[in-house]
Chain A
Amino acid sequence: MLWLAATMLLLAGCAVSHTPTELTPLAITEHTKQQTLTNQLTFELGTGYSRTLKAGSQWISIGRVPQGEVYKPYKDVFTLEGANVHEAYLVVDTGRLIGFYLPVERGYSPLKQALPLPLQTQEPQN
């Protein structure tokens, strides 16, 4: 019975851990500048899954959580995956990706190890 439970857990993956946090939103206007990721970034989540942020992907700052600035993908989606899948935004502090904001759960999920996030500012596009 134990092996069955262990196998089910293995197949399902671990849950995405997160703690409650509060987003202070930023008004998004047509003048909001996009940030472009200059290099591809691949990292492991604590759930057994990995994620890749593509070079050239565009991000918009939508506000702040106490942990850092929150960036949402522009015309794209980003998710964290564990036992379930959650839409997520990047949390950046002093140029480093430190974790993720889960908008539905209003939660912060830290990255095990912060990573440099090379973002370059771009003029607004519509």
Chain B
Amino acid sequence: MNLNAIGVVYRKEFTEWIRDRRTLISTVLVPLLIFPLLMVGSVYFATVMVGRAKKETPTVMLLGAENSPALVARLQKLDNVEIVPYAANWKDLISDKQVRAAVDIPKDFDASLTTNSPQTVNIYYYEGDLKSSFGADNVEKSLKDYRESVVKDRLQAKNLSATILTPFDVKQENVAPPEKVSGATIGGFIGYVVIILCMTGAMYPAIDLTAGEKERGTMETILSSPIYRLDLVLGKFLLVFSASLATAVLSVISMGISITLLGQSQMKSGDAQHFALHIGGMSVLAVFLMALPLAVLFSAVLMTIALFAKSYKEAQSYLTPMTFLIVIPAVASVMPGVELTPKLALVPILSTSLVCKEIISGTYHWHSIAMIFASTCVYAAAAIFLAVKTFQRESVLFRS
């Protein structure tokens, strides 16, 4: 191995890389923009949608209004719903979003209140439609208030206190520190994103430096120079690895800024308790360290596969299924209930994603971390070895 030759190849590849618009977009622009767009954009979108839904007074239709004039009068007094006249096609009207909800007052409702034979008031709404849910919620709240007032009256009639119904209170109290809460909620997401971006950052340089070189006809040029194939592969690999890391670093910086800005905007609006994200710098650094061997693995595997292709397009078609192979375990780690076990610790990508989730939440299981780091390093070393061997195969380099 000749470090000077590796350096020469790396410097040349770096020069070409920073002059390539395609790889710069995938390595720099995408990770820098994806988080502000995804996080700030989605929160903004949700706020606007909820705001709009809240502004509208939902229309509610009463079915069987004649069964309880008292209840009808109560509902008509509500400010947050608008009672509309009965129509036989009320279900269609809800589906067409002309009416947001309907309340079905059963027969003999008023009589049932005095005879203590409970009846059910059905509220019909359109699930998934925010405005319909608001209409149904407003009506339900009013009905519950009415039920409580009826209960209160009944107790008073029997000279009983309302507290008879609540002999004790039940309250849940959180003891988990804020960073653990953050880890449980977004820890998996951060690991997932770092892993996916490590891969996407490596993908385009890996194609460009292998299949791209074949397509442009420069492979034969470089093979005619006296550099050892090992040095050539390592120089190229280091560039792909750098691109992978650069993407991951930029993505985490961008994510950190997005989360901070989002947190500040929530604080201003007095909603901070809903967005309590506390992620330590050490946790982020640890996530990076865990992602390092994975970035090595991705870089070497992507280069090896892309080398089989004769053109950029062919390489893209080979690597697209690879994306799914990487996305599936990364997504699995975000699923609720998927926990790190000794067996899963040996599954590449999934194990790193799971341990990142734990690290972000402040939990450091050192034996698991060591096992995952070591096993991923072994996979990565095997992948580099494979890449070097593939670069020495004439049938791959001169495939026609």
Task: Indicate, yes or no, whether A interacts with B.
Answer: no
**A interface residues with partner B (beta carbon < 8 Å):** none
